[in-house]
Amino acid sequence: MLLIVALYVNDLLITGPEGQYLTEFKTQMKKVFEMTDLGEMTYFLGMEVIQSTGKIVLHQVKYAKDLLNRFKMSMCKAVSTPLSTGSKFCRDDGTAKANGQFMQDPTETHFTVDKRILRYVKGTMDYGLVYMKQKSMFAWNSKQQVVAQSTAEAEYIACAATANHALWLRKLLVELGFKQVKGTLLNVDNMSTIAIAKNPVQQGTSESSTML
């Protein structure tokens, strides 16, 4: 029986198959520590969780809103990338010094970069993950922020993001003791996208490569 316990300061997250083993663990913990059972997880370390019969949705809308409100940028205009193309930074860039707490000699340029990152956060408010409780183990669910020039390009961008997440999830499963022997199947219904993904040479000359 596998029981996973995630501990952060005084926050404790317990996950595992429902049953007597899980109940007994919580009972034993309450005997030793003063703690409250909050039931099914809905919020943990800035991550919001929506659980239903067929899926689990993860997102961080509240955390993003709180972050933007903290720095008075809730009304800022969103951008699609955290940094502008060609940005270069150095300790002394010639711009005026800024008053930054916990930083050594920050300049106005450095603060401009920070603001752009917050604007990027504003543009990711609709991002999230959907884990399916059926044959499809997971699915990527997000609003695409990049303006694609074609259907093939849009699907290639989505495939790249999904592949990255699949690799992360496979590594996580290995750490939990579930080594993945078979490859992860990625279903794509666009033949041009499949051709681009299979041919590294074609990626260099396609419009899709400019978006990644």
pLDDT in tens, 108-143: 777 888 888 889 888 888 777 777 766 555 554 554
Residue that the structure tokens 């303006």 belong to: 147
Inter-residue contact 12 to 35 (CB < 8 Å)? yes
In this prediction the pTM is 0.57
* pLDDT tens per residue across span 95-110: 777 666 656 777 777 7
* pLDDT tens per residue across span 172-207: 778 777 788 888 877 787 888 888 877 756 555 444
* pLDDT tens per residue across span 57-114: 888 889 889 989 998 999 998 887 777 766 676 777 677 776 666 567 777 777 888 8
**pLDDT given for residue 209 in this prediction:** 38
DSSP letters of 120-144? HHHHTTT-EEEEESSSS--EEE---
For the cut 90, the answer to whether the pLDDT of residue 54 exceeds it is: no
CA distance 193 to 154: 9
Alpha helices by DSSP H, listed for 101-199, are 108-123, 151-175, 191-198
b (16+ CB within 10 A) / e for 93-114: eeeeeeeeeeeeebbebbeeee
> Which of 58, 57, 66, 60 shows the shortest CA–CA distance to 46?
60
**pLDDT given for residue 207 in this prediction:** 45
> Which of 7, 73, 47, 190 shows the shortest CA–CA distance to 127?
47
Inter-residue contact 49 to 57 (CB < 8 Å)? yes
**pLDDT given for residue 210 in this prediction:** 35
* pLDDT tens per residue across span 31-48: 998 888 888 888 888 888
Q: What is each CA distance from 55 to 69, 72, 132, 203, in whole angstroms? A: 31, 35, 4, 34
State the average pLDDT for the chain: 76
Average pLDDT score over residue span 15-22:
77
**pLDDT given for residue 202 in this prediction:** 54
Inter-residue contact 89 to 109 (CB < 8 Å)? yes
Question: Percent of the chain at pLDDT above 70?
Answer: 76
* pLDDT tens per residue across span 152-167: 777 777 777 778 878 8
Widest distance between CA atoms in the chain: 65
